[in-house]
Each structure stands twice: as C-alpha cells, then as structure tokens.
Structure 1
Amino acid sequence: MKITSRIFTLAAATFMCFQVAAMAKVEVVWTNPEKYVDIKDPFNGMQNTKEDAFYNIEKVLKRLAKKLPDGYLLKLDVTDLDLAGETQSRNFRVVRDMFPPRMEFSYQLLDGGDNVLAENQENIRDTSFMNKVSLRYKNEAYGFEKQLIEDWFKDSFTDYLVKN
C-alpha cells in the first residue's frame, strides 16, 4: 500500500510540474534603475522603496500573466518608473493628483513557439488615479502603480486573454 501511495504522490507531483511549466510567464528587466525618476535619492534612503516597488510590480504582472494562454511569455524592459506622489523627505511620500504614477517600458508577448504576437514601446500614466472610486488596490502598497499596470495589461492583451 505504501508503494502505491508513493507512486501516486510522485505522479501527481510530476503532473503539477508540467502544469507549472506550461503556464504563461513574465520576465522583467529593470534597465538602469539608478536613473529612474522616483528611485534615486540623494540620501540613499530609497533602496527599500526600489526593491519593494520592483517586487510588487513583478508580483502583479505574474498574477496577470496567469490570464494568458499556457506557454506564453511576456517580456518587459522597464526604462523608467515614477511612483504616484512625491517624496517629501527620506521618510514619507505625499500623494497628490499632480504627481501621477508613470512607467516607461518596451514589451514583447511571445507564444509557446517564440513567435512575437505583440510588441511595443510604452509610456503609461494615469492622470486620473486619485479619482478612481473602485481602486482594487487601495489598501495595498503601490496600489496606484498596480492599477496602472492592470489597466494597461487589459487594454493591451484583450485578444489574448483566456476566457474562464
């Protein structure tokens, strides 16, 4: 009985590995982040902001990529990131509508056979970010940036999204 159980567990784990390998993936390259509008800081107090922002943006992109067909790959090369608001000192950021979130990047969407389905240079911003009533990420760190990315993703890849 133990052998049958182990064989079943091994088979299930192998199947799950193939499932994970087939899912859509995201690759993000952060090109010259020291030159980004909002990441540099003369007092060097923004290091955690950079790491946190990159982590949170990659996290939302990975979640969104799950809506793409299995085997697809979304590649982004980020060349600038301007977070919502403005840093007033080393310790806090003031968010006002005159400082919208913005992100510059190029992207490629590839199918499972490395065929380029879509590619473009983007400079996305949301000048009405403070007026959105249904901000999905309102209680999360980098919520304005996450919403900006989600809106761009849905607008850019509607034709490729898997219907559930």
Structure 2
Amino acid sequence: MRVTGLVFLMAYSTLLSFALCAKEKSDTNVIEDTGRVHIIWESPKKYRDVRPSNQSPSRFREYVFNEFDEKFEALATDLPEGFTLMLNITNVDLAGDVSFGGASSSLGRNFGSTVGDIRVIERVFIPSMAFSYQVFDEKGNEVLAADEKIKDTGFLQSSLRRGRDGPFVYEKRMLERWYKNEITPHFSGEVTKS
C-alpha cells in the first residue's frame, strides 16, 4: 500500500513538473494545487468559450480559473480526511455569449474583445464543461475516477440573484449538482449512480 502512495506522489510530481514546463514554454496548461484539489486546466486557449467581455483574454482566464478553483476546493471539503480530488479540465463553455457592443453573437466572434463587448445570457448559450477526475484516498489509492461532460440546459429556470451569488453562478451551480450526484454519494453511503 505504501508503494502505491509513493508511485502516486512520484507520478503527480512528474505530471506537475511537465505541466509547469509546458506552461512556461507555451502557456497551454495551467496547474492549480489548492491542497485537497489538484487541477490541470489543459490547453485553455482551445476552450469553447472563456472569452472576456472587456478585458484581456489571459487575465479573464486566470479570473475564471481562480473562481472555479475556489469552488472545487469548497466542494471537496466533504471528502474524507486525507483524500484528494484531481481534475483535468479539457473544455469550458461559459453561460451566455460575448457580443460586440450588444450586437448578435456572430459579430462578437469576429471582432474579439473590445470595451463595448458584453456577455449576453440567453437559454441557447448553456454552460458546459468537460473533464476527467480521480479521487485518491490518504494512501494514494485511486478510489473513484471518470470522464465527465456536464451541462445545464435549464440554467435560466431557477431564481438566482446574480449580484448576490457572485460571478459564474450558473457554472458553479452546475458543478455543485455534478459533485452532489457523482462524488458525494460515494462517501456518504448513498451511491445512486444512474
């Protein structure tokens, strides 16, 4: 059992080193390690929609990743002591679409981000994410793993107070639902996998 934990730590260290080198050379991967949660944001420039409405793309991505890092860390607090959640995020599509000065979304895609751009929230622009995850116990043994493609087609159906609930409220609620349905039951004795 100790060998498995050692192998896990060595593999994680190697992966972290590789990803950090890749980030320095090409800015393709972003690594976040918040203690209980280890996240690789794989090739974020290729994500479907992490476009800013009025700031630089790299700063906006950093802002988005920080918000989601905090959300994943908050969700993982219910994992048993010593357990770790590892995520490899491969795609993000934020709710809404960036439009040029409020014009149709097809114009926004052609002109890039300018001061007049806004993110228009409409039901056709649903939030979604693609990622793989693994949960490791305190000894480094994998206890849960899967590839996920999640989306929330009914994201506008609930009553949310955007200002009060903070940024990316639709995406965070989608992550809460996923975590509650896919991770929590495995550690509460209520496995209800469909």
TM-score, L = length of structure 2:
0.65
* Cross-structure match for 2:179: 153
Question: Judging changes above 3 Å, is the alpha-carbon distance between structure 1 residues 46 and 161 closer, same or farther for their aligned structure 2 residues?
Answer: farther
* Cross-structure match for 1:87: 98
Question: Judging changes above 3 Å, is the alpha-carbon distance between structure 1 residues 137 and 77 closer, same or farther for their aligned structure 2 residues?
Answer: farther
* Cross-structure match for 2:146: 120
* Cross-structure match for 2:88: 77
> 86-95 or 103-112: which moved more?
86-95
| Distance in 2 of aligned mates of 1:120 and 1:137 | 34
Q: Is the 8 A contact 1:137 1:143 kept in 2?
A: no
Q: CA RMSD in A?
A: 2.4
The equivalent position to 1:55 in structure 2, one of 40, 61, 66, is: 66
- AA at the equivalent of 1:49: F
Task: Determine helix, strand or coil for the equivalent of 2:86.
Answer: strand
> 85-94 or 153-162: which moved more?
153-162
Among all aligned residue pairs of Structure 1 and Structure 2, give the percentage whose two residues are the same amino acid: 30
1:1-164 superposed matches below 5 A: 25-39=36-50, 45-89=56-100, 90=113, 91-133=117-159, 139-157=165-183, 158-161=185-188
| Distance in 2 of aligned mates of 1:69 and 1:33 | 30
Aligned residues, how many? 138
Name stretches of at least 5 consecutive residues in structure 1 with no aligned partner: 1-23
> 70-79 or 48-57: which moved more?
48-57
| Distance in 1 of aligned mates of 2:179 and 2:157 | 20
Task: Determine helix, strand or coil for the equivalent of 1:39.
Answer: coil
| Distance in 1 of aligned mates of 2:45 and 2:77 | 30
Question: Judging changes above 3 Å, is the alpha-carbon distance between structure 1 residues 148 and 50 closer, same or farther for their aligned structure 2 residues?
Answer: same
Q: Is the 8 A contact 1:136 1:147 kept in 2?
A: no
Q: Rg larger in 1 or in 2? A: 1
| Distance in 1 of aligned mates of 2:174 and 2:126 | 10
| Distance in 1 of aligned mates of 2:67 and 2:78 | 18
